[in-house]
A = this chain, B = another copy of it.
Amino acid sequence: MSAPITLYDIPSTAPGNAWSPNVWKARYVLNYKGLPYQTEWVEYPDIELLYAKTGTKSHLTKRDGVTSHYTLPVLHDASTGAVISDSAEIARYLDKTYPDTPTAIPLGTDAFHYAFNDALENKFGALCQFTVVTTFSILNPRSQGFFRDTKEKNTLDGRTLEEAAPKGVHKEKEWARLRNDFGKIDAWMKEDKYFMGDVISYADFSISGWLLWVRIIYGADSEEWKDILTWHGGRWGAL
């Protein structure tokens, strides 16, 4: 018998299949809560169709501020009929619907989690320029064409993925900036293991989602991942 909860994710050729940082955030929440679920794989060109079919509401717009932006994760809960997009909204839904499971967004930290996401997007946005070509390379052919077309048109102002990837001195500078951004989060957390001190929260799943993404995209043996493991007392590998 299938579990009532379905998590929709984007497939890849990477070992273990799942790679998307935002879907990983929702998956961490489901695992933390111990809720059974199954994964359904949706190629990029089919995400909009999934939204239409399930009546999912899009929280995001493209850069024009008007056109809907269709992203995963989407979670469908057959026991309530709810269909939710956005990993943080999924965490909120699961906290509310399954109050006997461990809380992802502890009481009083709801607005803080929005502020945290806002601050983190400003920082880890820099990661995308490094990973865009490698992400492309692990997708299935159907998704590759869609990914290249939409990225180059919507976020790279017509440059190709390969042109947009930082190179040489610029690459070194941007990588140093990324390390510096991680350094700020390290400073915020001081000696704490988790973002809230002793308590695990969605903030930790969010940082972990980004980190796992880098490890999957580059590979655990890559120079990039090994470099990150040396940053800030080895905090990121431990997390």
Contact = CB atoms under 8 A, between A and B. Distances in A.
Interface of A: 106-112, 114-116, 118-120, 122, 184-185, 187-190, 192, 195-199, 203
B109 A196 contact: yes
A111 B196 contact: yes
* Most chain B Cβ neighbours within 10 Å, of A109, A118, A189, A199: A118
A111 B195 contact: yes
Contacts of A115: 112, 115-116, 119-120, 188, 203
A173 to B, nearest CB: 14
B184 A111 contact: no
B197 A110 contact: yes
A92 to B, nearest CB: 10
A196 B108 contact: yes
Given A111-B185, A115-B115, A116-B119, 19 more contacts: A106-B108, A108-B109, A108-B197, A108-B199, A110-B188, A110-B190, A111-B190, A111-B196, A111-B203, A112-B195, A112-B196, A112-B203, A114-B187, A114-B188, A115-B116, A115-B119, A115-B120, A118-B119, A118-B184
